[in-house]
């Protein structure tokens, strides 16, 4: 049995170099040609077969025959300026504040380790390097382009780094038995009233007051209309309207997000958002224009696969270093849901710095810093789980 933990440590200098290079490229969505070229050059050097199945979507493979296990790493960045202070920080107006540079470098390391033991593999491992996870629909485009076919994928796994939480100690792994990442619906509500002077409010119809009432009323859904324990988040983070403090504006627009794990609950809430916004606005002599984005998909970790791989993950982290949770630890979204909706799969969360370790800034923050000591752990977890699963399910 290969010792992937030992080998990942031996390769760590190269893996960290990969990470820092990808970190500086920091392309967004599908505009990640520099990173694509870097990854494919590394795959070529390792003698690993690959193809670009959609723009910057790389599907590589190691081994042959059945069964087939897929390992996925995304590699796009976020569209804001980095403030980490790292010597290898991105100088662009985009940065890897979600850790995708770590994901892709870990999968490159795993690719090398698996290629080195290719003659021992009891099937095929698909290596999925995905662009445009951050709102670009990259996973959907790769699935549409045949990611899960030829060969047909049996099971799938991704890893996502976590930092700035109580349970993200460097080098530990946690994952949930079932719901893992929520679906997301974007919400945009425009309240239309009638403008006027602030000194004569009775001559106007105030959309700002109506918007405030709508926002408060929508929280009634969570407190009174769905079962307790449904685990739903409904938040509004943006509001705009008005041009002067003494002028009543014509319109106010506010935007937010709905996060759920259950599709039926999500559909119910979407309908109630329209009902409540429309009727509360009408009661205040305003009109509400409600726009909801297409509902996303939640990542639901396959319970059987969660249990099957637990000992193989713990082989990497050491006893006590892996936590199988009953519930997800956040309402974050993840477009790997497009894969897990079609194939039994899961997402592991790899600790890259906890609050106790001094990491108080979480992902999607321009100041976030990840502990690079997590990298060999994640690389070994990718390789060990895939190798062991093939071995355990050989046909």
Q: Kindly tell me if the per-residue pLDDT of 216 is higher than 90.
A: yes
Residues 57 and 176 in one domain: yes
Residues 158 and 62 in one domain: yes
Question: Which residues span the domain enclosing 215?
Answer: 183-292
Residues 378 and 357 in one domain: yes
Domain end (from 292, 324, 349): 292
Residues 136 and 199 in one domain: no
Residues 281 and 196 in one domain: yes
% of the chain residues with pLDDT over 90: 94
Tens digit of each residue's pLDDT (9 = 90 or more) over 307-327: 999 999 999 999 999 999 988
Residues 280 and 307 in one domain: no
Tokens in use for 241?
Answer: 């309207």
Tens digit of each residue's pLDDT (9 = 90 or more) over 19-63: 999 999 999 999 999 999 999 999 999 999 999 999 999 999 999
Residues 338 and 257 in one domain: no
Q: pLDDT grade, residue 258 (50/70/90)?
A: very high
pLDDT of res. 318 = 96
pLDDT of res. 231 = 87
Q: pLDDT grade, residue 379 (50/70/90)?
A: very high
Q: Kindly tell me if the per-residue pLDDT of 330 is higher than 80.
A: no
Q: Kindly tell me if the per-residue pLDDT of 229 is higher than 90.
A: no
- Average pLDDT of the residues in 224-230: 88
pLDDT of res. 327 = 80
Residues 171 and 189 in one domain: no
Q: Kindly tell me if the per-residue pLDDT of 329 is higher than 90.
A: no
Q: pLDDT grade, residue 295 (50/70/90)?
A: confident
To the question of pTM greater than 0.85 for the whole model, the response is yes
The C-alpha angle with vertex 57 and arms to 64 and 142, in degrees rounded to 5, equals 80
Q: pLDDT grade, residue 369 (50/70/90)?
A: very high
pLDDT of res. 230 = 82
Tens digit of each residue's pLDDT (9 = 90 or more) over 125-180: 999 999 999 988 999 999 999 999 999 999 999 999 999 999 999 999 999 999 99
Domain end (from 263, 292, 321): 292
CATH number at residue 69: 3.40.630.10
CATH number at residue 251: 3.30.70.360
Residues 284 and 317 in one domain: no
Residues 37 and 159 in one domain: yes
Asked if 122 and 394 touch (Cβ cutoff 8 Å), the reply is yes
- Domains: count for the chain: 2
Tokens in use for 243?
Answer: 């041009």
Q: What is the mean pLDDT of the chain?
A: 96
pLDDT of res. 274 = 98
pLDDT of res. 326 = 83
pLDDT of res. 124 = 98
Q: Kindly tell me if the per-residue pLDDT of 395 is higher than 90.
A: no
Q: Kindly tell me if the per-residue pLDDT of 345 is higher than 90.
A: yes
Domain end (from 274, 292, 310): 292
Residues 197 and 148 in one domain: no
Residues 139 and 277 in one domain: no
């Amino acid at each position: 049995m290969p010792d992937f933990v030992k080998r990942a440590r031996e390769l760590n200098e190269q893996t960290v170099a990969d990470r820092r290079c990808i970190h500086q490229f920091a392309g967004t969505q599908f505009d990640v040609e520099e990173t694509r070229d870097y990854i494919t050059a590394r795959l070529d050097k390792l003698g690993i077969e690959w193809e670009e199945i959609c723009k910057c979507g790389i599907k590589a493979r190691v081994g042959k025959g059945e069964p087939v296990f897929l390992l996925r790493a995304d590699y796009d960045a976020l569209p804001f300026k980095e403030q980490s202070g790292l010597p290898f920080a991105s100088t662009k107006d985009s940065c890897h504040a979600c850790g995708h540079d770590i994901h892709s470098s870990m999968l490159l390391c795993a690719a090398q380790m698996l290629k080195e033991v290719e003659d021992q593999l009891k099937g095929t491992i698909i290596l999925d390097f995905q662009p445009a996870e951050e709102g670009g629909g990259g996973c959907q485009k790769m699935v549409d382009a045949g990611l899960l076919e030829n060969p047909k994928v049996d099971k799938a796994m991704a890893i996502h780094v976590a930092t700035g939480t109580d349970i993200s100690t460097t080098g530990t792994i946690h994952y949930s038995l079932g719901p893992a990442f929520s679906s997301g619906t974007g919400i945009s509500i425009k309240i239309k009233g009638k403008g006027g002077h602030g000194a004569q409010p009775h001559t106007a119809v105030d959309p700002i007051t109506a918007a405030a009432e709508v926002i408060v009323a929508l929280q009634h859904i969570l407190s009174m209309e769905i079962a307790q324990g449904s685990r739903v988040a409904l938040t509004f983070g943006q509001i705009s309207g008005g041009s002067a403090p003494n002028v009543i504006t014509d319109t106010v627009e506010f935007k937010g997000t709905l996060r759920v794990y259950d599709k039926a609950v999500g559909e119910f809430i979407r309908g109630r958002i329209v009902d409540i916004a429309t009727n509360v606005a009408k009661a205040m002599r305003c009109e509400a224009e409600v726009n909801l984005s297409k509902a996303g998909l939640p990542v639901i970790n396959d319970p059987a696969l969660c249990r099957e791989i637990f000992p193989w993950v713990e082989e990497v982290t050491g006893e006590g270093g892996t936590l199988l949770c009953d519930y997800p630890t956040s309402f974050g979204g993840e477009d790997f849901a497009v894969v897990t909706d079609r194939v039994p799969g899961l997402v592991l969360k790899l600790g890259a710095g906890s609050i106790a370790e001094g990491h108080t800034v979480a992902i999607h923050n321009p100041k976030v810093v990840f502990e690079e000591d997590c990298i060999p752990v994640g690389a070994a977890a990718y390789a060990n789980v895939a190798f062991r699963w093939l071995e355990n399910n050989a046909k």
